[in-house]
Structure 1
Amino acid sequence: MGLSRVFILLLVVATFGPMITSAKDFIVGDQSGWTVGFDYQAWANGKEFHVGDRLVFKYPAGAHNVYKVNGTDFQNCSAPLEATPLTSGDDTIVLATSGKKWYICGVGNHCDRGQKLVITVLPQALPPSMAPAPFPWSYSKGSKRPFFNFKLP
């Protein structure tokens, strides 16, 4: 009974542990942060964003904000009236679903001046170590119970 609980725990940790630790933080704009006059599309070019990754928007509080918008609002640089912007100056957004994501600054004409970001979020990436491994048991001919192929200390 105790061995099966340990085995199940090890299986869960081996399966889900790497998924939890594989998320990346992306500081939007790197050292420039979230500001006017920066090319965010060039910054995003070549980066892979996956479900579970985090976007971190850094800026002086009160100088900017962050709205998550749809494609139309992104094109028109319009912040939705019903939405509440992020305003802390150190805002983190967890990328929870795959697909296109759009972000703008709603202060003055900042969006019109380039303070906007569109990215494509890919499904969660599995690290190479997550390749399927053979199960440590097999069935011997004539037996209805699994036979474990590993030795205990």
Structure 2
Amino acid sequence: MLTSLPPSILRLTATASAILFVLLYASTTVSATDHIVGANRGWNLGINYTLWANNHTFYVGDLISFRYQKTQYNVYEVNQTGYDNCTTEGAVGNWSSGKDFIPLNKAKRYYFICGTGGCFSGMKVSVLVHPLPSPPHSSLAAEHSSDTSASSAVYGGGVEVIGAVLRMFVVAIWCGSGWI
């Protein structure tokens, strides 16, 4: 049935489909942050990891990465007691690849230490992971629930943008525009 349509309409339909796919994909993707412990200095002695952690905001779904010489150091996830006392007893996880990517899947405080003795020299870090922020809610949306532009401003307009793009293509098809 589509083969009986003029080529310009077929191109327009294909273009509309591609743009719609890109808009839907872009509006649903969430990017996680990879927090590299110690930044370019990595997981090593002589770094203030408390200061490093305080300069980052961690959210559920982010990663925390440890980069180090695997023959010298490692990483253990421990509880607060293990963190405070530099002990690995009862550790929740341990890594030793030298390039460890650890997902932060829960909103809670995580504790990581070096289990080869580096913890006693400051190789330990504690990070507080926050839940993902909720979409913004505003009284502006309630006051202007019938006003599409107001809801677009409040909610980012993902659905409204898609609707506007589709309306534009329908008008172009209806009017027989040759702009595509």
Q: 1:82 and 1:127, CA in 2 relative to 1: closer, same or farther beyond 3 A?
A: closer
Counterpart amino acid of 2:124?
A: K
Query: Counterpart amino acid of 1:114?
Result: G
Q: CA deviation at 1:80?
A: 2.4
Query: 1:65 — aligned with what?
Result: 74
What is the TM-score of this pair, normalised by structure 2?
0.62
Where does residue 167 of structure 2 map in the other structure? 150
Could you say which structure has the higher strand fraction?
1
Corresponding residue for residue 163 of structure 2 = none
Give the Cα separation in 2 of the matches to 1:62 and 1:100. 28
Query: 1:29: how far off?
Result: 0.4
Matched, 1:31 2:48: no
Bigger helix fraction: 2
**Structure 2 letter corresponding to 1:122:** H
Q: Distance in 2 between matches of 1:134 and 1:56?
A: 32
2:121 and 2:43 mapped to 1: Cα distance?
A: 12
Deviations 1:57-111 (A, max 9, x none): 0101120000011111111111025655200111111111111111000003x11
Matched-pair identity in %: 34
Q: How does 1:91-102 map to 2 (within 5 A)?
A: 91-102=100-111
Q: Give the 3-state SS of the residue equivalent to 1:150 in structure 2.
A: helix
Specify the SS of the correspondent of 1:121. Answer: strand
Q: Distance in 1 between matches of 2:93 and 2:62?
A: 22
Asked whether the equivalents of residues 49 and 121 of structure 1 are also in contact (C-alpha less than 8 Å), the reply is yes
Cα gap change, 1:126 to 1:82, in 2 (>3 Å): closer
Q: Aligned Cα RMSD in Å?
A: 3.4
Q: In structure 2, what is the Cα distance between the partners aligned to 1:69 and 1:85?
A: 9
Long gaps (5+) in structure 2? 1-12, 137-152, 161-165, 173-180
- 2:54 matched to 1:56? no
Distance 1:32 1:134 in 2: 40
Name the count of aligned residue pairs.
136
Match of 2:97 among 88, 92, 96: 88
Identify the residue that residue 150 of structure 2 maps to in structure 1.
none
Q: Distance in 2 between matches of 1:62 and 1:99?
A: 30
Structure number, greater radius of gyration: 2
CA positional deviation for 1:124:
2.4
Report if aligned partners of 1:15, 1:130 keep a CA contact under 8 Å in 2: no
